[in-house]
Amino acid sequence: MTESPSARLLAMFHEAGIPFDSVEDAWRRAEHLSPLLGWLTASFPGEEAFRTCSEWLRLCASRIDGGEPAAALFAQARGNAPRQAHVAAGKLVDLRNECILARRPAAAAFADASNHLCEVWAAVTTHEEDGDTEPWGRAKAAAVAMVTAWLYQQDLKEEDKQARSLARVELTRLLREARASVRPDQS
């Protein structure tokens, strides 16, 4: 039997020496973006998980120049057209490449983060999961890319550990805010 997203999230924190009483406790107090984002992607195809990721990308896009197109493409992944999520994921790769060529590193990293999340959604909703679309690994890659986008936006060095840590905490706060807006009755 496959471990549930909740059990895995709590085990990850416990193994890191950060025990939480429950998933809700982790969501309230954790300062680590990747495990919370992993819990969401592992909860796909849940509607709430998708809406939370979409809202998080929207919130991040309001703070990162050039992020809006990637957030909008991710939101389109839930459309009704055949293989819509795969189409959106492909367009996110194209957008990332366009941003790289245009020397817009923050927007490129943002599109990369969005693509990681979209690839998982596409695989899960079409039952095409494989090692390349493993939710926890892709969530970690998305978190790293979004932290990089955040740093580039602020003209900070990618290698600055303190800046990366502060960015991760702020992005986690935005993820919590996104989740609360999607679940207003449970905030």
pLDDT digits (tens, 9 = 90+) for 142-183: 999 999 999 999 999 888 999 999 999 999 999 999 999 998
pLDDT, average across residues 97-121: 98
Look up tokens 């600055």; give the residue: 160
pLDDT digits (tens, 9 = 90+) for 40-79: 999 999 999 999 999 999 999 999 999 999 999 999 999 8
pLDDT digits (tens, 9 = 90+) for 10-27: 999 999 999 899 999 999
Q: Which amino acid is at 17?
A: G
162: exposed, middle or buried (C-beta count within 10 Å: 0-12, 13-18, 19+)?
exposed
How confident is residue 1, by pLDDT bands cut at 50, 70 and 90? Answer: very low
| C-alpha pair distances (Å), 48 with each of 16, 52, 65, 100, 154 | 27, 6, 26, 32, 31
What is the Cα–Cα distance from 90 to 156, expressed in whole angstroms?
29
Q: Which two tokens stand for residue 12?
A: 């990850």
Is 187 a residue whose pLDDT tops 70?
Answer: no
Average pLDDT of the chain, as a whole number: 94
- H helix or E strand, kind and range, residue 171: helix 161-182
| Other beta carbons within 10 Å of 94 | 12
Contacts 24+ apart (CB under 8 A), 95-104: 95/69, 95/70, 96/70, 99/66, 104/65, 104/66
**Cβ within 8 Å of residue 33, ≥6 positions away:** 143, 146, 147, 168, 171, 172, 175
pLDDT, average across residues 95-116: 98
Is 186 a residue whose pLDDT tops 70?
Answer: no
How confident is residue 3, by pLDDT bands cut at 50, 70 and 90? Answer: confident
pLDDT, average across residues 90-98: 98
Q: 26-41 as b/e, with b when 16 or more CB fall inside 10 Å?
A: bbeebebbbbbbbbbb
